[in-house]
Structure 1
Amino acid sequence: MKTMLPGILANLGESFHADRVLVLEDHRHTRRAGIYLSHSWQRTSVPQVATEWFSRYPFSSPEVMEWLLPLGEGDHVTQTEGHTSGAVAELFRELELKSILIVPIMVAGEVWGGVGVDCCTAERKWTPVEIDLLKIVANLIGATILRDRYVTALQESEQRFRAVADTAQDALIVVNSQGVVRYWNRAAERILGYTSKQAVGKKIHEWLAPARYHDSAARGLREFATGGHGTSLGKTRELAAIREDGAEIAIELALAPMRIEGEWCAVGIVRDITARKQAEQRMVWLARNDVLTALPNRTAFVEEIQQAIEHYRREQTGFAVCYLDLDHFKDINDTLGHAAGDLLLKHLAERLRNTLRETDRVARFGGDEFAVLMTNLSDPTDGGIVAEKILSVTNQPFFINGAEVHCSATLGLATCEYECSDPEVLLAHADAALYHAKAEGRGTFRFFTAALHNEVRDRITLLAELREAIAKDQLFLMYQPQVDMESGALVGLEALVRWRHPERGLIPPAQFIPAAENSGLIISLGKWVLREACRQTRSWMNMGLHVPVIAVNVSPTQFKGPSDLAAEVAATLACFDLSPEFLEIELTETALMQASGRNSNVMQNLRERGVRIAIDDFGTGYSCLDYLRRFPASRIKIAQTFISEIAGNSGSAAITRAAIGLGRELSLSVIAEGVETEEQAALLTKWGCKEAQGYLFARPLHFGDVSTLLEIGRVTFAGRVPATEDRTLTSAVAL
């Protein structure tokens, strides 16, 4: 419009015999308030009006606004000098006007401005033809302005589109109904390798889509061309694409239809998901494989066993499952380091791969535990031949970081003869056979037998019933008093769990606690014992009785469990409003020796909360001053193994005296377990041990008997609480 308008105004001025033609732009509705001179034409004899004059003139005065009011309604304004007054007359004088005709310029239904035709030499009246002609010109100017706006908006929109498209991380591709590329952004160049020049104008499916997609792509294009419809439109699909370098990559494609220049086109958003798919594949692999050895893990191995079971049912082809455990692998880790241990496991995995038949499968379950599935056995016992090969390659030296390392393995085998229906049952059978092989000397293998079958079945039944016993309160606690041997004062109570089976009566703790420990059920059992001990302690306190320290045995598995033991203990104490000093946690010396950094932190946390820590069965493990220094124990309990022999075995007596002296030097409380004779009590007192527990003082007592004892507050040699039928257990096996 800027180039055409000067000529239009000149022709208009000549046709109207006017002296001046002005195009004014009204900005009073915008932040740029005022009227601005957009374009003008005037005869040379007429003084030129300065552009800035219009921006300074007070068009907002009431008289001028009233005069120009028809323009806002889309009508024209005419005026001669002789019919003006006030502000309008002043306007005529400043512009040296005699007559004026103004027509509004309308753009999109709003007043954009106006076209004014001036006569400066004489007054004149404007004919209807002139008025209509000026309106036509004004309409043309308005239409041109509107078109320019649309063009500008379109250009800006295209610029924004290209800016967004060119900076987008995803590829943006536009193809027509024949599959010819019309647009290809920079991300498409980066992701797919083809430049825009290479891609635009070519049929996309012929070079970008793998051959397996060609037929379906052709069908989709034919359907799309008829009406812009297609099964892939409006959906996001995962496909493959061929890069310019020939590599196939995974992509995510979303398609939408669009009409462009009267033709149906498809706009595609393409995202490279190769990294994501690789990550997903890696996650799937990790879920089924061992990272260290790249062998299948337990999950994948169980599936292999299930397939072998199904094949056995169809074809009656024998198979066997083998558990493999390296002997004393912990010693290798402790002496050479965990990195060397990991390297040995990798070498062993490679040997097993090379030794086993193609039909066999080997897996790593974790640590030094491996499993082998031997298939296609004409006789299930033929697995022994494979087992001999495994033992042979395991016994050969390993060279780790220049050092020659020797190790052996123990194997347990289970064949398809026993309850061949559940992979977990077969694994349990192989594990039981492995356990017996280790008990017989290690470095060998054993098959699962009928006797072992009955043992495993009984253990599984026992665990199921124990789980039910915990849920149905078939368990109860008894307490063995801990006394000061000089005064007989009650200094503590050790909580001992008992199980009254509804059909089999009392089941010895030595029978169900090891099974619970091996299965992990010990965690639930331990929680029950802790909570029940705290509940009964609160009951005694509510009865007004003075309660000493309550000792609760804790399994090493509880320390290594998923929950925070220290927080769990604190929460249980808080639940029954008990102070931490009323609780003592007992942990065996052997478990203490195996404690990791995390376990040490748990014990430290317990001590910081005020809970006491006792080392149970002291002297039976690998006693070490360093462990006693590092772990925050408050008490050591000398094992019954030594106490029972102190009167007749000089070695046991020496160990007991040393333990008492060690406790005294380290400011640890010392208590003797399993004291049964007055002679033992006298020797212990003579050597400086003040506290003890055992049948000499009291057997484990029921809640009611403990209540009576707490009322008395002491135990004497002659006045021990008598044993009832339920208290005739031959030992006080603790949890």
Structure 2
Amino acid sequence: MNGPPQGPGQDPGGGPGLGPSPFTESKVHRDYQAAFRIAQLPMALVGRSGHIVSANPAFGLLLGVEPASLAGLRADSVTGLGLDGRTRGSYHAVLRGHSDRMRCTRRLKHADGHTLWAEVTVLPIERGDSAALLTVQDISERRDLQERLRHIQMHDPVTRLPNRALFFERLTAALAESATGRIGLCYLDLDGFKAVNDTLGHRVGDQLLGAAAQRLAHCATGAGGHLVARLGGDEFAVLVEGSSGTEQLTGLAEGLLTALQRPFDLAGQRLAVSASIGVVERESAGTTATGLMQAADTTLYWAKADGKARWTLFDPERNAHRMTRQSLSSTLRPAVERGEFRLEYQPIVGLADDVVRGAEALVRWQHPQFGRLGPDKFVGLAEENGAIVPLGRWVLNEACRQARRWQLETPGPPLFVSVNVAVRQVWDSDLVSDVAAALRDSGLPSGLLQLELTESAVMGSAGRPLQALQALSDMGVRIAIDDFGTGYSNLAYLSRLPVRALKLDGTFVRGFRTARHLNPADETIVTSLVQLAHKLGLTVTAECVEGPAQAERLRRIGCDTGQGWHYAKPMSADHLTVLLAARG
């Protein structure tokens, strides 16, 4: 009854090599169906046409329907797999056997109306009419936890407003797709917030931030539900994702200012703060998040510089000027190395005989983009960023070389050259060594070099500047005070400083232009200054001499030399060489 023993080539329930017996296949099928029915994981078999062949009870429970009612429905409609082209293509690739798996996250709808998040997986199978096994896992709790964590990550704990990360996410999305094709931003910070923090403590400071945030959010909601974010510290931003123009933005900014200017009652105290707001409005196309924020930051700076407690609208022309300053400042040092600077010389003429005695070296920048720039466009920047040191050293060397050439190549008395020196050159470099090197390398006698320093730079000098001036004077270099009469005017210092010359500021000389406009007070002041200088052994040069009447009056009151357009405008070294040759 037990049959013959099983041979080595026989399967357990069938003939040798013939596969499972009908009894075994039926049992496996029943076991498979039982597992399919009792599985806690929602599943469905999908036919090659994309319709559901059968769904297990867990699937029906997930959607709140009888599992039998799902049979015959399109699987991509039930699970949302057909909502976008990319997912739909991946799904059909599995059905056709061209892919071994696809997975996506979808929001599904329950029969009672609520929605749930599910992770949908489709795997290919080959059994009967089925082409794929679809599984659906409820991930709503995980998704809710992720959303809560994201909310914590994307919101400021003090004000509960969106934080910097969420703001930039929304800003990037708004730039990519704006309903109006335009975008606007109000970027603000609280004036006086630091004083509140420092005097009343961070707890009150945080309360103030929270109260200010509520007012900003209320304004933004009333103005159209714009995003309000805290970007850090006392800085906030209001994003208008579909701007209708600058009028909308400036109106919003005015409302924000008004709301924040009302006093805050916090911790038993009434606090008054204001805000400065930078307003930017522009087309979304061609605008980047970085570019928009840079413009907003610049405009906020303008609002503060203009007096605070105000809004300021971005001005392209004002920004271009700022960018030009930045561009010039950043390229000053390389420009010195590239040899982009030139010197022009303005003659200094004896008032008694009209003979050229010297020349002031004036630097010009031949900029590759902006053309020829005068010193008023870049010397101040050079003093700010320290580029005045290498630039001043170049001017000194070039002027000394040129003065030496005039000494050797032109007839008549040798010409002295006058070079302007900035205060920072005295402090940030070894001016004495620089001058000594320039004289040595050029061969120019020290008595033919005059250094001009402003009155404010030398009056009250002590320590290193005074020591440098004394050392230069001991070398034989002439020291002159430029623009005399406009600075401290502490005349007592003239007897203590190693000064050889005064250059009267042009504001005194302009009153000498004609008899009709002669100001007696100007003539009295100039006369007194010249007499005082001469008693101290100093020579006097009058700047800005523009006509013969001025020159004659200055000569009559004893001024030694004059400089200005009456004699010559600044000119190239070659042009001045021609003039010097003609005097012989």
Q: TM-score, normalised on structure 2?
A: 0.51
Q: Does 1:663 align with 2:518?
A: no
Please report how far the alpha carbon of residue 511 of structure 1 lies from its aligned counterpart in structure 2 after TM superposition.
Answer: 2.4
Q: Does 1:539 align with 2:387?
A: no
Which of the residues 521, 533, 538 maps onto 1:651? Answer: 521
Q: Does 1:313 align with 2:179?
A: no
Q: In terms of mean alpha carbon deviation, does 535-544 or 600-609 score higher?
A: 535-544
CA distance in 2, matches of 1:661, 1:384: 60
Unaligned runs of 5+ in 1: 1-307, 325-345, 361-371, 391-409, 715-735
1:353/1:477 CA distance change after superposition, 3 Å: farther
Q: Does 1:675 align with 2:542?
A: no
CA distance in 2, matches of 1:506, 1:513: 14
Task: Tell me the equivalent position of 1:575.
Answer: 441
For residues 97-116 of structure 1, the aligned pairs below 5 Å read none
1:676/1:384 CA distance change after superposition, 3 Å: same
Deviations 1:531-567 (A, max 9, x none): 2112222333453655321101112232332x22222
1:624/1:704 CA distance change after superposition, 3 Å: same
Which of the residues 552, 572, 578 maps onto 1:702? Answer: 572
Which of the residues 341, 350, 353 maps onto 2:198? Answer: 350
Tell which has more relative contact order, 1 or 2 (C-alpha 8 A, sep 6+): 2
CA distance in 1, matches of 2:481, 2:200: 42
RMSD: 4.3
1:503/1:376 CA distance change after superposition, 3 Å: closer
CA distance in 2, matches of 1:431, 1:377: 11
Q: Does 1:470 align with 2:336?
A: yes
Task: Tell me the equivalent position of 2:492.
Answer: 626
Please report how far the alpha carbon of residue 493 of structure 1 lies from its aligned counterpart in structure 2 after TM superposition.
Answer: 0.8
The 3-state SS of whatever aligns with 2:483 is strand
1:712/1:691 CA distance change after superposition, 3 Å: same
2:450–2:480 contact (8 Å) kept in structure 1: yes
Task: Tell me the equivalent position of 1:611.
Answer: 477
Which of the residues 548, 554, 557 maps onto 2:415? Answer: 548
CA distance in 2, matches of 1:503, 1:683: 44
Please report how far the alpha carbon of residue 506 of structure 1 lies from its aligned counterpart in structure 2 after TM superposition.
Answer: 2.5
Q: Does 1:692 align with 2:567?
A: no
CA distance in 1, matches of 2:195, 2:165: 32
CA distance in 1, matches of 2:415, 2:308: 50
CA distance in 1, matches of 2:526, 2:489: 13
CA distance in 2, matches of 1:631, 1:310: 61
1:637/1:352 CA distance change after superposition, 3 Å: farther
1:356–1:386 contact (8 Å) kept in structure 2: no
Task: Tell me the equivalent position of 2:349.
Answer: 483
Please report how far the alpha carbon of residue 500 of structure 1 lies from its aligned counterpart in structure 2 after TM superposition.
Answer: 2.9
2:480–2:503 contact (8 Å) kept in structure 1: yes
1:433/1:375 CA distance change after superposition, 3 Å: closer
Deviations 1:581-625 (A, max 9, x none): 221111122333475543233322322232221111111222111
Please report how far the alpha carbon of residue 504 of structure 1 lies from its aligned counterpart in structure 2 after TM superposition.
Answer: 4.2
CA distance in 2, matches of 1:595, 1:420: 50
Q: In terms of mean alpha carbon deviation, does 415-424 or 695-704 score higher?
A: 415-424
The 3-state SS of whatever aligns with 2:382 is helix
CA distance in 2, matches of 1:420, 1:606: 55
Q: Does 1:587 align with 2:456?
A: no
1:642/1:431 CA distance change after superposition, 3 Å: farther
Q: Which amino acid aligns with 2:554?
A: L
Which of the residues 502, 505, 509 maps onto 1:636? Answer: 502
For residues 125-140 of structure 1, the aligned pairs below 5 Å read none
Please report how far the alpha carbon of residue 351 of structure 1 lies from its aligned counterpart in structure 2 after TM superposition.
Answer: 4.0
The 3-state SS of whatever aligns with 2:452 is strand
1:425/1:706 CA distance change after superposition, 3 Å: farther
Deviations 1:213-242 (A, max 9, x none): xxxxxxxxxxxxxxxxxxxxxxxxxxxxxx
Please report how far the alpha carbon of residue 700 of structure 1 lies from its aligned counterpart in structure 2 after TM superposition.
Answer: 1.4
2:541–2:562 contact (8 Å) kept in structure 1: yes
1:322–1:373 contact (8 Å) kept in structure 2: no
1:412–1:433 contact (8 Å) kept in structure 2: no
2:186–2:296 contact (8 Å) kept in structure 1: no
1:705/1:500 CA distance change after superposition, 3 Å: same
Equivalent residue pairs, number: 351
Task: Tell me the equivalent position of 1:433.
Answer: 302
1:554–1:585 contact (8 Å) kept in structure 2: yes
Q: Which amino acid aligns with 2:235?
A: T
CA distance in 2, matches of 1:622, 1:700: 29
Please report how far the alpha carbon of residue 694 of structure 1 lies from its aligned counterpart in structure 2 after TM superposition.
Answer: 1.2
The 3-state SS of whatever aligns with 2:499 is coil
Which of the residues 600, 604, 610 maps onto 2:466? Answer: 600
The 3-state SS of whatever aligns with 2:498 is coil
Q: Which amino acid aligns with 1:641?
A: T
Q: Does 1:449 align with 2:318?
A: no
Q: In terms of mean alpha carbon deviation, does 453-462 or 590-599 score higher?
A: 590-599
For residues 111-122 of structure 1, the aligned pairs below 5 Å read none
The 3-state SS of whatever aligns with 2:541 is strand
Task: Tell me the equivalent position of 1:71.
Answer: none
Deviations 1:96-135 (A, max 9, x none): xxxxxxxxxxxxxxxxxxxxxxxxxxxxxxxxxxxxxxxx
Which of the residues 364, 386, 398 maps onto 1:520? Answer: 386
CA distance in 1, matches of 2:189, 2:529: 47
1:553/1:695 CA distance change after superposition, 3 Å: same
